[in-house]
Amino acid sequence: MSPLLQKVLRLLAGVLILFVGFFMMQSLIGMKQSPSVTLPETMARPVRTTVVFNTQVTPKVPVEGRVQAWNRIDLFAEVNGVLSLMGEDFREGKSFKEGEVILNLDDSESRSNLKSARSVYLQLVTGMLASIQVDFPERIEIWEQYVESIDVTKALPSLPTPESKREEYFIVNRGVQASFYSIKASEERVSKFTVRAPFDGFVAQALVKPGALVRAGQPLGLFVGTDVYEIQTAVHSRYLATIKTGDKVIFHDENDLVVAEGKVDRIAGNVNASTQSATVFCKVRASENRQDQMRDGRYLSGFIESSEIENAFEIQRNLIDGEEKVFVVNSNELEKMSVVQEFRSIETAIVSGMPNGTLILSDPVTGAYLGMPVSVGESIVE
C-alpha cells in the first residue's frame, strides 16, 4: 500500500472517531435529568402599626427663651441721709417679703422737726376751740374729739369735714388747713427715709453699704421680684397663625420636669426680616414645688398649646413622604394614602383626611413599596 493511501485512511479514521464520540456524548447528556429550580417564597415583613382615631388635637409650638422677672425696679434715694446700720443688711442676694423694710436712712432730725410741727399744730387747733364753742356750738364735740385723737408721734388724723361754708372759711382763716397740709407733706418726706419692698423679691444689685452717705437722686441698687416672670421667645412666622394671646404655655428643664406655667401675654406685630420670626412674650409663674428652680436669667425650653384642631390625628413627620402621602396597611399589603398637614412641629405633624380605623405604620420601614406584603402584630390605638 502506498504511503499516500495510508495517510488518507488515517485521516478518515480520525474523523470517524470524532463523529462517534460526539454522538455518544449527546446521547449521555440527554439521559441526564435537569435539576428542579425552586423560587424562594416572598416573606411578609413584620411591621408595627397604629390605628387612626380622629379627635381634637392641640398643636404644640416649641419655644425657648431667657427668664426675666416681671417685677424689677431700680432703687433711688429721694432724700439725703446716712444708710442705717440697724436691721437687715442691704446686700446682693438678700430676700425680702412685700412690705418689709429694704433699707433705712437716718431720719432722726426730720422726725424731730415733724414732732415740733405737730405740736404747733395741736396748739393752733386747741386755741380755736373757744371760738368754735361760741360760733359753732353744735360742732364743738366733733372738734374736741379731733383734738384728743392727735398724737405728735403719729401721723395727723384727717380734718373734720365742715358742715357749712361759714365753718370752712373759719378754719381756713385760722390757718388750720395750711398747717395741716404742710405737716402732711413733711410726713410724706419722712416716709421716704424708709424703703419697703413693693413685692416679694431679692436685691439683685446693691450700690451702697450700711453707714454710707446717700444723697437725693443717687442710685441704690436693683430689686427683682420672685413671683411672676416673663420669658421672651422667637416664634417662626409659620406658627403665628396658630397662636394667640392667652394661649397656655409650659416650660420644662433638661429633665423634662415642668418648671413654669403661664400664658402668652403679648405677640409682636412685626416679623424679623432675617430670621422670619416674631417675638412672643410669655407671662409665667413657677410650678408648685419648683420655686427654687426659677431664676432670673435662666434659659428654659417648652411649648405653646395653641387652639385645638378638629377631626385630626398626630403622627411622626418622617412617616409623610414628599407627595404628602403615608403608607397604610390594607389586606396585609402596603398602600399609600394622601393626607393634609394641618400643623407641623419639629418631630410630629397633625394631619387630617384619614378615616377612623385606618391602619398606618408606626415607624418608617426601610425599602417599603406599594404592594409590599407585611405581617401586622399588635396595633397601637391612640
- Which secondary-structure segment (H or E) carries 205? strand 201-206
Read off the DSSP letter of residue 5.
H
Specify the pLDDT at position 39.
Answer: 42
* Residue 117 to residue 267: CA distance in whole angstroms: 54
User: At residue 333, what are phi and psi to the nearest 5 degrees?
Assistant: -135, 150
Q: What does each of the 382 residues of the chain score in pLDDT, given as a tens digit?
A: 567 667 767 777 776 777 777 677 777 666 655 555 554 556 788 888 999 999 999 888 889 999 999 999 999 998 988 887 665 678 888 889 999 988 888 888 888 999 999 999 999 999 999 898 988 889 999 999 999 999 999 999 999 988 889 989 999 999 999 999 999 999 999 988 888 999 888 998 889 888 888 898 899 999 998 889 999 999 988 888 888 899 999 998 888 888 899 999 999 989 989 989 999 999 999 887 777 778 888 899 999 988 888 899 999 989 998 888 999 998 888 999 999 988 888 788 899 999 999 999 988 888 888 888 988 876 565 5
User: At residue 77, what are phi and psi to the nearest 5 degrees?
Assistant: -85, 135
* Residue 299 to residue 170: CA distance in whole angstroms: 66
Helix, strand, coil percentages (3-state) for the chain, rounded to 5, are 25, 35, 40
* Residue 252 to residue 64: CA distance in whole angstroms: 10
Pairing of strands 248-252, 228-236: unpaired
